[in-house]
Structure 1
Amino acid sequence: MKRIHLIIGAMIVLGIGLIIQASGDMSTYGTFQEAQHTGKKVKIVGTLARDKEMKYNPEVDANFFSFYLTDENGETQEVIYHKEKPRDFELSEKIVLTGQMHDGTFRATDILLKCPSKYKDEELKMKS
């Protein structure tokens, strides 16, 4: 076999391996109810339940953050995140969580915040 054939073959095998690895880590969008029934990793989009307690004390444990999120179906659930609280968390419009349900709470492994744009007011003024 020529050397070029070996290189192309190795690249194909590597590409297939990367695709398989990426597909195994994919999670689907859902709700707390769906997360409860599947037991698999899901992504949940929701808003911070501002009327509920948020727990974060970095002096005691900087890697424990607890809050309540209301999903798109209106269900509010406690969320536990074993990392530090994201900066400007309270300012977020929408929150996307990745994780799974465990003993009645949602254990988040990743948090993505959609914060309000600082340009919204300027856009409204320009349209007027």
Structure 2
Amino acid sequence: MKKTSIIGLIIIAISIGVIISIYADTSTYGNFSEAQEKQSELVVVSHLNKRKKFTYDPHKDANYFAFYAIDNKGKECQVIFNGTKPQDFEKSEQLVITGKMSGENFYASRILMKCPSKYNKDQVEIKANGSSAVKSGI
């Protein structure tokens, strides 16, 4: 075999190895119960339990944020995030949390917030010449 053919095969083998390692590292979705069973990193779709207070005191520890979330199956769990509280966290409709379960707590490494839209698609108020009308379906 020529040297160029051998080098080409080595480059192809390395490329395949890189692609496999990238896809093997992808996280899977689940809930808090599955996270407790698997004890591995999992992505949990949940929503914030607004009835319970969250813990964040930047003067005491700016990298400690704890709150309660409820997954899609209805199980509630305390989530601990070693980072600052995201801006407008209370306004989020849905949370996508990546992390691991340890004991009874879920330790998050990433938090993605799904916030409500600023605009209401169903009704927009239009004012013309001092009068107002509501136009639906925009």
Alignment TM-score > 0.5, same fold: yes
Provide, for residues 52-105 of structure 1, a one-character-per-residue CA deviation record: whole Å limited to 9, x for no partner: 120011111111100000000111100000111111111111000011100210
Please list every run of 5 or more consecutive structure 2 residues that lacks an aligned counterpart in the other structure.
Answer: 124-135
Query: How far apart are the structure 1 equivalents of 2:58 and 2:37?
Result: 33
Report the CA distance shift for 1:4/1:91 in structure 2 as closer, same or farther (over 3 A): farther
Which structure is higher in strand share? 2
* Structure 1 gap ranges (5+): none
Give the 3 Å change call, closer, same or farther, for CA 87–4 of structure 1 in structure 2: farther
- Deviation per CA, 1:16-52, whole angstroms, max 9, x where unpaired? 2322322332221111111111111111001000011
Deviation at 1:13, TM superposition (A): 3.1
Distance in 1 between residues matched to 2:112 and 2:5, nearest whole Å:
43
Q: Deviations over 1:91-123 (max 9, x none)?
A: 11100001110021000111111111112x1x1
Equivalent positions of 1:61-72 (< 5 A) are 61-72=61-72
- Select between 14-23 and 93-102 the one with higher mean Cα deviation: 14-23
Amino acid at match of 1:50: K
2 CA distance for matches of 1:79 and 1:103? 11
Aligned match of 1:6: 7
TM-score (norm 2): 0.81
* TM-score for the superposition, normalised by structure 1: 0.87
Q: Identity across aligned pairs (percent)?
A: 41
1:85 matched residue in structure 2: 85
- Of residues 122, 125, 131, the one that matches 1:124 is 122
After TM superposition, the runs of 4+ consecutive aligned structure 1 residues lying more than 3 A away are 2-5
Give SS of 1:62's match: strand
Equivalent residue for 1:31? 31
Q: Distance between the aligned counterparts of 2:9 and 2:137, measured in 1?
A: 55
Task: Give the RMSD, CA atoms, in angstroms.
Answer: 1.8
Q: Does 1:20 align with 2:20?
A: yes
